[in-house]
């Protein structure tokens, strides 16, 4: 049987196990995030999309990562507090992960292998890379750090 995004389990920011199968039937925007990055203000756009479209079936999933410029140094509790106090983040946040290399979170290996980046690359290039997944679990888009979350609104609306 073919592996799907729903076969993965991850840890949330409070260290609870979460099966991605709990998001079946939802549109997912999965993003690796960081607290001290030039792109950190994208939390505002991610939260805006979540606020606007969550009731229609959008879930934004944030995965802190310290692999790029060591811009996510804190522990999960610190990251959670920062996101809530600085950006009023209410979308699901997950435990800090690696997104590239031998210790990469299996979910991100799956995402980057199944939706190649610029010029066919698999490796995630920087913080705030985004993967868009449709209601059937298909990875339909991959967007880089320079793609502001607001620029994805039409793609998201089309999937809802």
Q: How far apart are CA 111 and CA 131, in angstroms?
A: 7
Q: From edge to edge, which strands make up the β-sheet containing 27-33?
A: 58-64, 27-33, 130-133, 139-143
Selecting among 31, 37, 65, 83, the annotated active-site residue is 37
- Asked about 31 being catalytic, the answer comes back as no
> Could you give the residue numbers annotated as active site?
37
């Amino acid at each position: 049987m073919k592996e799907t995004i729903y076969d993965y389990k991850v840890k949330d920011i409070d260290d609870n196990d979460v099966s991605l199968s709990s998001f079946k039937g939802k549109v997912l925007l999965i993003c690796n995030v960081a607290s001290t990055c030039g792109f950190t203000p994208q939390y505002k756009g991610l939260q805006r999309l979540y606020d606007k479209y969550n009731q229609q079936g959008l879930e934004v999933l944030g995965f802190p990562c310290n692999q790029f410029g060591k811009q996510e140094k804190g522990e999960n509790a610190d990251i959670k507090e920062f996101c809530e106090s600085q950006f009023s983040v209410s979308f699901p946040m997950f435990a800090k992960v690696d997104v590239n290399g031998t210790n990469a979170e299996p979910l991100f290996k799956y995402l980057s292998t199944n939706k190649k980046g610029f010029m066919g690359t698999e490796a995630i290039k920087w913080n705030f890379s985004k993967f868009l997944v449709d209601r059937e679990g298909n990875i339909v888009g991959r967007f880089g750090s320079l793609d502001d979350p607001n620029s994805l609104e039409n793609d998201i609306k089309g999937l809802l």
